[in-house]
Structure 1
Amino acid sequence: MSYEFTPADVRFLRSAAGAGAVDAVDALPLTRAGYLKDVAEARRLVGDRAAPVLETVLLRRRAVSKVDAPARWLFTDAALQQATPTPVATHRAARFAGRDVHDVTCSVGVDLAALALVADRCVGSDIDEVRLAMAAHNVSAPLVRADALRPVTRGTAVFVDPARRDAAGRRRWHAADFVPPLGALAEAYRGRDLAVKCAPGMDFAELPWDGEVELVSLGGQVREACLWTGSFAGPARRATVLGPGGPKWTVTSDGPDDCPVRAVGEWLVDPDGAVVRAGLVRQYAVTLGFGQLDERIAYLTGDERPAGVRAFRVMESGHYTEKSLRQTLRRRGVGRLEILVRGLDIDPNTLRPRLKLSGRESATVVLTRVGRTPMAYVCEASAGEA
């Protein structure tokens, strides 16, 4: 169970005494091996404030993958779990540049901080007293305690990050179960330029949304979906792939989708998850000059290595059976193997030990189906990005 901060805890943590207590406890290793000993030392150092101080230290250490300079931030566990990584928040905030903006579920202020850097004027609000007090410490922007479904600003562009976990921490996958619900948000801000952050695992085909749905990935992982409406909205679907310095490339539903279904070429590409989740595999294939192995499978193939994406050079291919794959890998002396699977009921972790790998070579095997035929494509280990 995570620690539940109180307003008094936040007041202490924001004070000079609180900052000193956090610094003292942060000097402890707090590793699994010596955790109980370190907790006892933390209690000796800061007394009855040990629990909120310990939680703050641990949350800041976890936050290094989410925010810049986490050592100055205050978080709750739930707020950190839902927080947006800085490159993603920065990318999203760019559409708000030069606008008056209201983050109506600002929580501890991670998204608000990105918005405040580009907005003409920016305000944050939240119904949670503790998170709002933490946001006041984290971000230099006006704040107000308010229910997101009761607008307190006029003429602002609105950003919302509704809660997507229940009290037990389980994910909510349906828009009607968000807090606040998506339908209620759309009604409350009807006629306003609105952006709603969502989990990328939602079923967007069933989502009642007539604006744009953008899927965003960072470091090979799909990090979020954002729903855009009003003047924000562009194509119905967009997939954006980010690098550490910002957008690397994007593909939209407005692009041509006339890619062929063809036999395997020299190269295979497994599209970024944002492209797959956005349903833009065919549009993406056209940008590469590639085709699909099968019209229902996301793997793409072509004869020239594409620039800027991870690609696999095909060494040999054929009908997949476990026995034939084992023989091929043994003949090639493959001892290290990456296994990619689409369209087949195969668990790579279960398959790998049965292949009895041995040798010094590395390879990637792509297992999929073409029509009803299971196929194996043995490739050079990832060629990386060009």
Structure 2
Amino acid sequence: MGYGFTVPDVAFLTSAAGREALESFVPGGDALRDVGAARKLVGPERAGALLETALLRQRAAGRLPDGWLWTAEALEQATALPVARHRAARLAAVAADRVVADVTCSVGVETAVLSSALARVVGADLDPVRLAMARANVPGARLVRADALAPAVRPGAVLVADPARRTAAGRRVRRPEEMTPPLDAIADTDLADTDLVVSTAPGLDFTLVPWAREVELVSLDGRVREAALWSAGLVPQDGPTRRATVLSSRAAPWQLTDADDDTCGVREVGEWLVDPDGAVVRAGLVRQFAARHGLGQLDPHLAYLTGDEPPPGLRAFRVLEDGPYAEKQLRQTLRRREVGRVEILVRGLDVDPDRLRPRLKLAGPHAATVVLARIGRGARAYVCEAG
């Protein structure tokens, strides 16, 4: 759970003495020595706040703003900056003249990004410690202490929310009513002409949120980060209902929707197996992705696609050989190819890669990727160049 910050802790950390202590204190990785050094620098009453802040800043370095105040939970739940910027850009295109309220602002990440793209932004949180941190992190922002279920805004606003998806004990939750605050209650906010954007778990059962006009799955550098739920007033009436947004720190972003062409067939395996981005899979847009890139499906129920040329920038495996899956035959194939290291990917089969790997008795200088998949009513093994 991390150190339990107080409002006086935040006041100290933002004072001249606190800022000076943070600039001079660098944890060395030895817990006992670090505690002793912090106590010596600021005394026992503030040593915990100093040490925890320094450690959290180290964890945030390179991916979130430098020099911010955090709690451990706030840092863990913070929206990745490219994801927040993407959402802010979408909002700027459709709600530039409206008040946008970040009703679960925490320590201020989303509020800061929204404020850089929109003119009328307000951040709100019930937690006085996080709100004090947000005031230090985002100076000049309009911040208020308010319940997300009773937002301090007028009708016609856009509410941006990111309810917590873990219990106090750390258990991950997936049902809307188990989130904090409950997702259903946020959606039922009694404000006229109010729209809503909610960041939630990618694994949410979207049939439980019928108010969402569009469900957008967002990935960053190959990892699915969130499902963004957009209410009807923020998307075109005749627009798509499902969208995959793929963000990358190395390449231009791209999107796919259920309005795109989904014409693709089932075919025999080609030279390559292609693993679509997780946002595409979670959004149910595998056929649209295949149609865009001239690929085919190995099986209508399988996310892996195949073709003779892989799309650039995505994970793909060059197929060396394939056939019906049987453990003995796979072991013989890998031995013949002198494979000593193997990545095992399983789709639709009851096979545990960690238990299978030692039974394959691998030996040799080469590496390979093995894809085991249910195709029709049978199982096939694809031995590929390591991806």
Distance 2:333 2:250 in 1: 41
Listed one character per residue, the Cα deviations across residues 309-346 of structure 1 (whole Å, up to 9, x for unaligned) are 22111110001111111111111122222221111112
What corresponds to 1:132 in structure 2?
131
Q: Percent identity?
A: 60
Q: Contact conserved, 2:166 with 2:172, CA < 8 A, in 1?
A: yes
What corresponds to 1:216 in structure 2?
218
1:268 to 257, 273, 276: 273
What corresponds to 1:227 in structure 2?
229
What corresponds to 1:198 in structure 2?
200
Distance 2:108 2:90 in 1: 18
Letter in 2 for 1:121: R
Q: Contact conserved, 1:75 with 1:134, CA < 8 A, in 2?
A: yes
Listed one character per residue, the Cα deviations across residues 52-110 of structure 1 (whole Å, up to 9, x for unaligned) are 111111111111364132xx100111111110111111111111223432111111001
Listed one character per residue, the Cα deviations across residues 31-59 of structure 1 (whole Å, up to 9, x for unaligned) are 2xx22222222222221211111111111
What corresponds to 2:322 in structure 1?
317
Distance 1:74 1:129 in 2: 14
What corresponds to 2:179 in structure 1?
178
For residues 60 and 23 of structure 1, do their structure 2 counterparts lie closer, same or farther at Cα, with a shift above 3 Å needed?
A: same
| More moved, 371-380 vs 150-159 | 150-159
What corresponds to 2:80 in structure 1?
85
Listed one character per residue, the Cα deviations across residues 227-276 of structure 1 (whole Å, up to 9, x for unaligned) are 01133234211111111167522111111222211111111111111111
What corresponds to 2:38 in structure 1?
42
| More moved, 133-142 vs 255-264 | 255-264
Listed one character per residue, the Cα deviations across residues 111-162 of structure 1 (whole Å, up to 9, x for unaligned) are 1111111002211111111110000011131111111111322233221111
For residues 225 and 281 of structure 1, do their structure 2 counterparts lie closer, same or farther at Cα, with a shift above 3 Å needed?
A: same
1:22 Cα shift? 1.9
What corresponds to 1:374 in structure 2?
379
Distance 1:75 1:246 in 2: 30
SS of alignment partner, residue 58 of structure 1: helix
What corresponds to 1:117 in structure 2?
116
For residues 338 and 292 of structure 1, do their structure 2 counterparts lie closer, same or farther at Cα, with a shift above 3 Å needed?
A: same
Listed one character per residue, the Cα deviations across residues 157-176 of structure 1 (whole Å, up to 9, x for unaligned) are 22111122222122221011
Aligned CA-pair RMSD: 1.7
What corresponds to 2:147 in structure 1?
147
Letter in 2 for 1:45: L
Q: Contact conserved, 1:191 with 1:230, CA < 8 A, in 2?
A: no
1:95 counterpart = 2:100: no
Distance 2:345 2:192 in 1: 44
Q: Contact conserved, 1:192 with 1:230, CA < 8 A, in 2?
A: no
Distance 2:192 2:331 in 1: 59
Q: Contact conserved, 1:65 with 1:85, CA < 8 A, in 2?
A: no
| More moved, 79-88 vs 240-249 | 240-249
SS of alignment partner, residue 183 of structure 1: helix
Letter in 1 for 2:56: L
1:364 Cα shift? 1.3
Distance 2:103 2:129 in 1: 15
For residues 65 and 129 of structure 1, do their structure 2 counterparts lie closer, same or farther at Cα, with a shift above 3 Å needed?
A: same
SS of alignment partner, residue 194 of structure 1: strand
1:283 to 285, 288, 311: 288
TM-score (normalised: structure 1): 0.93
- Give unmatched runs, 5+ long, in structure 1: none
Distance 2:212 2:129 in 1: 35
SS of alignment partner, residue 287 of structure 2: helix
What corresponds to 1:54 in structure 2?
51
1:251 counterpart = 2:250: no
Letter in 1 for 2:312: A
1:226 Cα shift? 0.6
How many residues are paired up? Answer: 376
For residues 304 and 317 of structure 1, do their structure 2 counterparts lie closer, same or farther at Cα, with a shift above 3 Å needed?
A: same
SS of alignment partner, residue 295 of structure 1: coil
1:4 counterpart = 2:4: yes
1:14 counterpart = 2:14: yes
Distance 2:251 2:157 in 1: 26
SS of alignment partner, residue 9 of structure 1: helix
SS of alignment partner, residue 374 of structure 1: strand
SS of alignment partner, residue 188 of structure 2: helix
Q: Contact conserved, 2:176 with 2:208, CA < 8 A, in 1?
A: no
